Amino acid sequence: MALNSEWIVGRWMVILVTVHLFVYQGNGAKSPTFSTPSSTIQAVVGDTVLLPCKVVDLGNYLVAWKRGIAVLTAGTVKVSPDERLFLLDNYNLQLRAVQESDAGDYACQIATIQPIEITHTLQILVPPHIEGFSPEGSLEVEKGSRVQVDCVAGGHPEPSVSWSKNGRKMSSDARLELHNPQKQDAGMYLCTANNGVGIPASAQLELNVLYAPDVNVSNNWIHAGDGSSANLSCIVESYPPAIVTWYRETKPLTPTERSETRSTGHQYWLMLHHVRSSDFGLYTCVAENRMGKAKGTIELSGKPHRVVFTSQPESRYKDRYTIAWTVHSLSPVEEFKLLYRRSSRSLSSPHSTARYFRRFDGSNNTVADIVDNWSEVALRASQSWERDAKHETSFELKGLEPSATYEALVQARNKFGWSQISDTFHFVTRAYDPLEPSEPNFHSEPEVRGIGVRALSSTSSKLVLVSAGLPLITLLSFTGVFYGT
């Protein structure tokens, strides 16, 4: 087996140096020493490094540089064929354009009978880099499974590795683990390696979580009228992306001159034009992928919107209150149904006594029933009705009790039927009516007019008398019923 030429030259140089030293030391020369200590030198790839070796009392001794068993220089002779090595003054060794492979121990040796040496350890600093992921490529995992990914990084010194998602730290080591991943865990994960050399290295991993569609309907009731347009929408989230189909009742819909479907991101639209009464009914948004199926249901209706109360919750009077509300309907409202009663815990008692009677208040369009403590008033709607407008309606409730809390409900009806019943509205009556004293008149006969008050019990009550001629209020106590004149 052929010997390496560099090794052969090095061995001959060692032999010659040894012979030389043997002869020289026999003359009783002073022993040399190093004035340069051993050290650790760090350099970045591409740098030029200087390995110092200063000797005192060298005399005729020779200095050699070695790396392992390889002799780099002997005396002033460069033995190594490496063109990046240079022997400078005072036996300092220069290495240019250092590489990762240059890392290791370099010994400067004085060739005495018992050789003495110093050793410099060269550390090559390598900026961090991401070598890849294990497993490789983007990942697809099922919802509820387990995820384990290793980020393989290199560099010197060995870099620290961490994982993050959207700026939030997920792991402090090279392994990313997710237990029971959900759809919100999908996205881009960032692996970052840092060892303080240069800038940190990073690489992204895409994680996709497989799950069946989730269908959400923001508005499950859509109002329309004859000839109007209606937009029905559902929001679908899934992976892989779902196929979305619209149904009316049980029949799948296909685009026509009066209907079309669109999608933007996760939102899917069914757009109906020139609506007819035959279009009213239930529509279903059905989303399906290989993981499963889901649906959301929307009702398209010509019935009025739910009534919204607009009156203030406090009456100006003790025994009456003007209640007001607004309603939106693309078809004329024909009738309102108003329910009201005094709010009390006793009203909900199963032992409360129900009252049944019908009351006419003198108007042709108002009828009231009192059943189970609710007073029900049927009101005919105004004949004037503007399309696409919200309409205000008000009604004065009379015969209320002072300092009482009432609750009310309203429904509206058009030719397509009754709206959903409104939310419960609460209002209160005052303890007394506001006083509005008239201006004094000293030129006419004083007139006293009593305001009739029906006593609620046989206990003593008070009657307020207002004089039309004098700014005087007289309080009279009475028992029973008083009718003012």
Does residue 382 lie in a domain region? Answer: yes
Confidence of residue 32 (pLDDT cuts 50, 70, 90): very high
Judge whether residue 283 has pLDDT over 60. Answer: yes
| N-term to C-term CA, the chain | 141
Q: Is the dihedral of CA 468, 469, 471, 476 positive or negative?
A: negative
**CA 126 to chain CA centroid, nearest Å:** 40
Domain boundary among 71, 91, 126: 126
C-alpha to C-alpha distance for 252 and 142, rounded to whole angstroms: 30
Peptide bond before 313: cis, by omega within 30 degrees of 0?
Answer: no
Peptide bond before 157: cis, by omega within 30 degrees of 0?
Answer: yes
Range of 169's domain?
Answer: 135-211
Does residue 272 lie in a domain region? Answer: yes
What is the average pLDDT across 225-239? 95
Residue scoring higher pLDDT (356 or 289): 289
Does residue 23 lie in a domain region? Answer: no
Q: What is the pLDDT of residues 121-140, one digit of tens each?
A: 999 999 999 999 988 878 99
pLDDT score for 388: 66
Taking the CB of residue 139, how many other CB atoms lie within 10 A of it?
20
Residue scoring higher pLDDT (339 or 474): 339
Q: What is the pLDDT of residues 55-72, one digit of tens each?
A: 999 988 999 999 999 999
Does residue 335 lie in a domain region? Answer: yes
Confidence of residue 27 (pLDDT cuts 50, 70, 90): low
**Quick one: 313 and 329 in the same domain?**
yes
Judge whether residue 365 has pLDDT over 50. Answer: no
**Quick one: 120 and 147 in the same domain?**
no
Torsion of CA 246, 249, 254, 258, to 10 degrees: -100
pLDDT score for 48: 96
What is the average pLDDT across 367-391? 74
**Quick one: 200 and 291 in the same domain?**
no
Does residue 239 lie in a domain region? Answer: yes
Domain boundary among 301, 329, 364: 301
Does residue 441 lie in a domain region? Answer: no
**Closest to 207 measured CA to CA, from 192, 189, 180:** 189
pLDDT score for 354: 36
pLDDT score for 373: 83
**Quick one: 234 and 202 in the same domain?**
no
Confidence of residue 372 (pLDDT cuts 50, 70, 90): low
Does residue 205 lie in a domain region? Answer: yes
| Alpha-carbon separation of residue 471 from 311, 415, 474 (angstroms) | 33, 56, 10
Chain mean pLDDT for the chain: 81
**Quick one: 196 and 228 in the same domain?**
no
Domain boundary among 277, 301, 325: 301
Look at strands 281-289 and 473-478 and give their pairing: unpaired
Peptide bond before 240: cis, by omega within 30 degrees of 0?
Answer: yes
Confidence of residue 29 (pLDDT cuts 50, 70, 90): low
Query: Helix, strand or coil for residue 102?
Result: helix
Torsion of CA 161, 165, 170, 174, to 10 degrees: -30
In the chain, the amino acid numbered 79 is V
**Quick one: 284 and 329 in the same domain?**
no
**Quick one: 142 and 250 in the same domain?**
no
Confidence of residue 118 (pLDDT cuts 50, 70, 90): very high
Does residue 156 lie in a domain region? Answer: yes
**Quick one: 251 and 314 in the same domain?**
no
Confidence of residue 113 (pLDDT cuts 50, 70, 90): confident
Query: Helix, strand or coil for residue 291?
Result: coil
**Quick one: 328 and 295 in the same domain?**
no
**Quick one: 332 and 403 in the same domain?**
yes
Q: What is 374-386 written as a DSSP string?
A: EEEEEEEPPS---
Domain count, the chain: 4
Least confident of 121-125, 375-379, 388-392: 388-392
Paired tokens of 432: 């007394």
**Quick one: 161 and 107 in the same domain?**
no
Judge whether residue 458 has pLDDT over 70. Answer: no
**CA 197 to chain CA centroid, nearest Å:** 36
CATH of the domain at 110: 2.60.40.10
What is the average pLDDT across 15-23? 45
**Quick one: 333 and 230 in the same domain?**
no
